[in-house]
Amino acid sequence: MPWSLDSVLLPPCALLGGPPLSGLLWTFLLLFLWYCYRVGSDPPSHSGMLKSGSGRSSFSRSSSCSPVDPRHSVPKASAAITMEMVEEEEGTESYLTPVLSHAPFPTEAAAESKKLYRALQEYAKRYSWAGMGRIHKGLRNQARINDRPSIQKPHLFYLPDVPSIPFFPRDAHRHDIEVLEASYPIILAEFQAMYQRGIDTKLGWSYQGPKGQTVFPLYNAGVCVARNCRACPCTYRTLLSLRTFISSNSLGSAGFCLLGPGATLGGAYGPTNTRLRCHLGLQTPAQCELVVGGEPQCWSEGHCLLVDDSFLHTISHNGGAEDGPRVIFSVDLWHPNVAAAERQALDYIFAPEQ
């Protein structure tokens, strides 16, 4: 059946507000409307997918249709890269995905580092690999850290990309420092009561390092010493009120530390850079000195020092017997640049041995 423009109902020229339109103009108008209709009714194209997979498709066609010249063969991908490609194609995410992009764990690593790495894997299986990049990198490079000559060399675990200085300002842990300094009178009173009873291992004291270094621990490597905490109830409650006290892993300790006159603790490194050691001065003779990373500092009674003991540090008491021992209350706090997810993982990895 023939079709013409005469069958289309055209509006009167008066309504169009102009001269009569020619048949050619109406033809273009109808073609434009037809084009818009077709474009709107077509299904969405997959050009993006074809574009992203074009390289793989062309490779498949070339590999199936043309012989491969062994002289120009493509080198085989590593196992890690192969696993990553399979996971990407399947659209699934494995708990190993963030680790496969790193270098494999070194076989020459120490047994302790391998043990810690296995603990990290167990944590990731149970929870997530999210936020574990720095911990994984630190465990992998620990042997290299131990072998290098450096003024900062934690012997157990080094967390990379953490800003470090020997002494931190008060603002790094303002809340906890203010709590400790406000509790200074009661902490000093409880120490004096214990000290008057005598220093004896049967009373909860322990000797560390050379003669003259004595410790009364409330927490020892993440484990609460219940007997000593009962002897200092107010000090124990102060510890529990701190926001960043490391109380759940073997990297954290807290207690009273005594250094006798004439004693010196030679150059040593702390176990990790993930903590800061807070010293509250209780009895600090003028002849006592703390040198961390080559920077000397002195204690002050009733005030706190924030120390990164992963730096090379020495402690000396050059006073006489009449000066008495140097006494501080030492508390291990989290480094402010260790994220919450990393703290949780480190609590799991360095869980205290009961």
Question: 34-48, 68-82, 184-198 — which is least confidently predicted?
Answer: 68-82
Mode of pairing for the β-strands spanning 254-259 and 326-334: antiparallel
Residue 98 covered by a domain: no
CB atoms within 10 A of CB 6: 8
Instruction: Give the span between the Cα atoms of 24 and 85, in whole angstroms.
Output: 57
* Beta-sheet pairing, 313-317 with 288-292: antiparallel
Note the Cα 341 to chain centre separation in Å: 7
pLDDT in tens, 156-184: 999 999 999 999 999 999 999 999 999 99
Q: In sequence order, which ranges of the chain are alpha helices (DSSP H)?
A: 13-16, 23-41, 47-65, 79-90, 97-100, 111-126, 133-140, 142-147, 174-182, 184-196, 226-231, 233-240, 340-349
In a domain, 9, yes or no: no
Structural domain including 193 reads: 167-340
Query: What is the distance between the alpha carbons of residues 160 and 147, in angstroms, rounded to a whole number?
Result: 16
DSSP 257-324: EEE-TT-EEEEE--SBSSEEEEEEEEE--TTEEEEETTEEE---TT-EEEE-TTB-EEEEE---GGG-
User: What's the mean pLDDT when you consider all of the chain?
Assistant: 79
Tokens coding 201: 């291992």
High-pLDDT (> 70) share of the chain, %: 72
- Summarize pLDDT for 235-270 with one digit per residue, the tens: 999 999 999 999 999 999 999 999 999 888 878 899
pLDDT digits (tens, 9 = 90+) for 196-230: 999 888 899 998 765 668 999 999 999 999 999 99
Q: Which residues contact 290 (CB under 8 A, 6 or more apart)?
A: 279, 296, 297, 298, 299, 305, 307, 313, 314, 315
Residues 6+ apart with CB under 8 A from 97: 84, 87, 129
Query: Residue 222's domain is classified under what CATH number?
Result: 2.60.120.330
Q: What is the pTM of this model?
A: 0.70
Examine residue 71 and state whether it is found in any structural domain, yes or no: no
Query: Is 109 part of a structural domain of the chain?
Result: no
The Cα 164–Cα 335 span in angstroms is 9
- The band of 4, judged by pLDDT with boundaries at 50, 70 and 90, is low
In a domain, 334, yes or no: yes
Q: Which of 326, 276, 261 is nearest to 299 (CA)?
A: 326
Q: Residue 238: is it exposed, middle or buried by C-beta count within 10 angstroms (0-12/13-18/19+)?
A: buried
Structural domain contains residue 126: no
Residue 353 lies in a domain: no
- Whether residue 4 is contained in a domain is answered as no
Number of structural domains found in the chain? 1
